[in-house]
Structure 1
Amino acid sequence: MTPTSSSLRRVPAGAATPQDTPQARRSRRKGSSRGRQALTPWLFLLVPLAFLVTFSYVPIINMIVYSFTDWDGVSPDYAFTGVENYVEIFTRPELFKVFVASLYYLAAAGLQIALALYFATVLSFNTRFRNLFKGILFFPYLINGVAIGFVFLYFFQEGGTFDTVLGLLGVGGEHLWLGDPDLVNFSLAGVSVWRFLGLNFVLFLGGIQSIAPELYEAAELDGAGRWQQFRFIIVPSLRPLIGLTAILAISGCLSVFEIPYIMTGGAGASETFVIQTVKLAFRFNKTGLASAAAVVLLIIILLVTWLQRRLVPEERAVA
């Protein structure tokens, strides 16, 4: 069988083959460009994801594994004990009594959100020295928590700065602000308000400044005052942010640690669940039991957050 003349036909030199036409080249370039564009975000995310997995997910997995063991935190050997640690946690009611202290921080968080919303609203309008006041309100959030603990440790000393200020105001006497079980949680919660007020203030201030100025102008033309603008423009616009700060407040009051640990060490009815967990791990060498307590706290925070989002959806979130 001899080849036909068409099969022996040669393509002239320099002529483009069907696979090498300009349209085919453009198509290949577009395909490779789309491939690079799809790969680029993952290249930027590679390092953050590596840090996230290494320092967040891996420790959480290890904590869950340790919660089923009797590890003391020192010995290289440990034995799996099943759910004994969780049974011990839920059969010892005194381990959950420390959540009473969290109620003080929850009430303080509500006050903190209200104050942050008030200052953000006032300083979003033309107010004298508003930049100075913004810096004053946000500055405490920049200070290290350990330094704040030591500063207020001397501030609340018997006969210290706070008692001196009260004496100048006509309220005499010395008080055990950090030693009296009836006063210690009020003092510690007040410190948390002072420290974290700036964070919520900045969140609310950014939300208020993102509101279109035309809304204020239309409200002023209709005769609305500052209170009406706050009630009908600012608050509805900030509902998602208020819901976010409420979630942060609830999770924060359940996991309070550094301020009470530094100032009182958990003494005088100021012990929190996290302080109790740290003591179980490092003072009593019950790392397995402490890991189980940490898992329980994580589940409680996730459950409370889920309930908050279910009961108060984002579009209806309120303080």
Structure 2
Amino acid sequence: MTDTTEKVARPKQAAPPAPKSAAPRKVRLWRGLTPWLFLAAPLVLLITFTYAPVANMVAYSFTDWDGVSPELSYTGADNYVELFTRPELFEVFFVSGYYLAASVVQIAAALYFATILSFNVRFRNFFKGVLFFPYLINGVAIGFVFLYFFQDGGTLDSVLRLFGVESDKAWLGTSTSANVSLAGVSVWRYMGLNFVLFLGAIQSIPGELYEAAELDGANRWQQFRHIIAPGIRPILSLSVILSISGSLSVFEIPYIMTGGATGTETFVIQTVKLAFQFNKTGLASAAAVVLLLIILAVTWVQRRLVPDEKVDLV
């Protein structure tokens, strides 16, 4: 008889915990660094070509630099004192009123065409291209084209003559007619940008809302008033901000077409002349800083009066 020994089952010992791998930590690190790697190049370009020049401009505004000499001396706030004690330097802001009025027409026309072309209209893609095309043209080319358009006996006079209107008026010869003409050119050029912004905002509104409105018997005006207008409010606010800042800093079209003559000089043209014609780069830098502060202040006031609100049409 063989003695059998009963094997007593011993509890298994738990395996020692594996050492924590450093891989998850590296993954988290790379995930945190990846956005900055993509942003590195744009940030370098932004700092190099935007913030660094602005910082230099602010520094030059406290000097008497003429823009040519390697030597400059610190003058404190003398440039700002001279700027604010010469009211004629700010009289050119009255010219911006023409462009501000033109921007109202521009926004209204762009909103009208964007609303019309957001519905099913024949040849709407063709009209979209026609409206946006002027914004793609170089500003210098536009200036020269309309310079011949408004000259005596030019395109405008020829078109008016076809309708039996004899005009011997110098469109760029007087202050009022020149500023109205230049403001009209700015409407023609920049309306395409606002048109595209409005059209994109309108097309982002869910189509079910239009279908529900049509079932309820709403006409186009009611759809615009209760669906489109509230839905594009943020884009409309952005367009107003861009229009006001653009009206205060007009430069390209009047500089090319008139050079600031016949009462068409804007604040930016005046600043450029101070820097490159009269060699007062320090004073011009101070004027540029003041213009920047005015635009920022106007934008801040507008954002306070019309804050961004989350649009919920559903």
Task: Please name the residue that 1:154 is paired with.
Answer: 148
Task: Please name the residue that 2:43 is paired with.
Answer: 49
TM norm structure 1? 0.91
Q: How does 1:199-218 map to 2 (within 5 A)?
A: 199-218=193-212
Aligned with 2:88 (options 84, 88, 94): 94
C-alpha separation in 2, matches of 1:314 and 1:162: 43
C-alpha separation in 2, matches of 1:316 and 1:38: 30
1:113 is aligned to 2:122: no
1:126 is aligned to 2:138: no
Letter in 2 for 1:121: T
**How far did residue 19 of structure 1 move?**
4.7
Q: Secondary structure at the match of 1:183?
A: helix
Q: Secondary structure at the match of 1:98?
A: helix
CA contact (8 A) 1:159 1:175 kept: no
Task: Please name the residue that 2:26 is paired with.
Answer: 32
Unmatched tracts of structure 2, length 5 or more: 1-14
Q: How does 1:258-273 map to 2 (within 5 A)?
A: 258-273=252-267
Task: Please name the residue that 1:196 is paired with.
Answer: 190
Task: Please name the residue that 1:165 is paired with.
Answer: 159
**How far did residue 29 of structure 1 move?**
2.6
C-alpha separation in 2, matches of 1:148 and 1:184: 16
What are the Cα deviations for residues 2-42 of structure 1, in whole angstroms up to 9, with x where unaligned? Answer: xxxxxxxxxxxxxx86453xxx33xx332221111110000
CA contact (8 A) 1:280 1:287 kept: yes
C-alpha separation in 2, matches of 1:249 and 1:128: 31
Task: Please name the residue that 1:104 is paired with.
Answer: 98
1:314 is aligned to 2:314: no
**How far did residue 315 of structure 1 move?**
3.0
C-alpha separation in 2, matches of 1:248 and 1:181: 25
Name the % identity: 70
Divergent runs of 4+, >4 A: none
1:219 is aligned to 2:213: yes
Task: Please name the residue that 1:297 is paired with.
Answer: 291
C-alpha separation in 1, matches of 2:179 and 2:73: 39
C-alpha separation in 1, matches of 2:170 and 2:266: 20
Name whichever of 168-177 and 91-100 sits farther off.
Answer: 168-177
1:180 is aligned to 2:174: yes
What are the Cα deviations for residues 53-86 of structure 1, in whole angstroms up to 9, with x where unaligned? Answer: 0000110000000000000000000111000000
1:243 is aligned to 2:220: no
Letter in 2 for 1:264: T
**How far did residue 180 of structure 1 move?**
1.3
C-alpha separation in 2, matches of 1:303 and 1:92: 21
Aligned with 1:82 (options 76, 81, 85): 76
TM norm structure 2? 0.93
Unmatched tracts of structure 1, length 5 or more: 1-15
Provide the aligned length of Structure 1 versus Structure 2.
Answer: 298
C-alpha separation in 2, matches of 1:70 and 1:171: 54
Task: Please name the residue that 1:10 is paired with.
Answer: none
Q: How does 1:251-262 map to 2 (within 5 A)?
A: 251-262=245-256
Q: Secondary structure at the match of 1:314?
A: coil
Q: How does 1:280-291 map to 2 (within 5 A)?
A: 280-291=274-285
C-alpha separation in 1, matches of 2:194 and 2:24: 46
**How far did residue 181 of structure 1 move?**
1.3
**How far did residue 311 of structure 1 move?**
1.3
Q: Secondary structure at the match of 1:214?
A: helix
Task: Please name the residue that 2:5 is paired with.
Answer: none
